[in-house]
Amino acid sequence: MDLTTILAFLVYACCFLLYHSVYLYFTDKKPNLTKKGRINSCYASWLKNSTEQGQFLLLVHQLRNMIMSITFLASASILLIGFLLTYGLLDTQITKGLAVSSSVDYPGWLIFFTLTFSFLNLLLALRHLNNLTVLVRSDPDKLEKIEGNSAPAYLEKLFKRGSQRYMLGRRGFLYAIVIFFWYVDVWLFIALTVLLTVTLAYQHDF
């Protein structure tokens, strides 16, 4: 593995894994600093008003729209992972390309890792949101006794966790697309990874 490849992995790790870990940390600890943290307060009021007004059916239908989108992305990711394992990583001998300086298919394995990471986050998002659709009609006193927190606060926590996992799953697809440009040129991949991260941070996160 040459220095350019190492640099590509470091840039990717900082832009995708480290940046989103820091972003979600600030969203949780200092919500006023991030757009997602500020919008979470709107989600909390939506959940509170819907439950207080007894609009459980409307709330569940709105959650189902998100669940359908998550299910579609999770299905697409597992299909792409299967395709990579069948045709791209295990049975094919990789040769040197324009940007790959080793017989190891670094971009292919990085795409595999990213899609797997995306798939796992989408599964966790499904778990949190499905729990929310069921527990929204549960006995508030019993839920508070079990969880040690008020029912609205616990439901809000479920939605926030599901929403965050959903965001990571979606963005995994974006970064996986960018990795394909590594096959064209490794420096193009590095530049697009940084550009994507800066764009997300400027337009969507802060």
Domain extent at residue 27: 14-205
Let me know if residue 2 belongs to a domain. no
| Sign of the dihedral through C-alpha 12, 14, 20, 23 | negative
pTM over cut 0.85: no
Is residue 72 situated within a structural domain? yes
Rounded Cα distance, 178 and 175, in Å: 5
Tell me if 7 is assigned to some domain: no
Count the domains in the chain: 1
Flag whether 138 is in a domain: yes
CA 75 to chain CA centroid, Å, is 14
pLDDT per residue rounded down to tens, the chain (206 residues): 789 999 999 999 999 999 999 999 999 888 888 888 888 888 888 887 887 777 778 888 888 888 999 999 999 999 998 888 887 665 444 444 444 444 578 898 999 999 999 999 999 999 999 988 888 888 888 888 887 778 788 888 889 999 999 999 999 999 999 999 999 999 999 999 999 999 999 988 88
Q: Is residue 9 part of a domain?
A: no
Q: Is residue 170 part of a domain?
A: yes
Give 186's contacts (C-beta < 8 A, 6+ positions apart): 4, 5, 8, 99, 100
Residue 157: inside a domain: yes
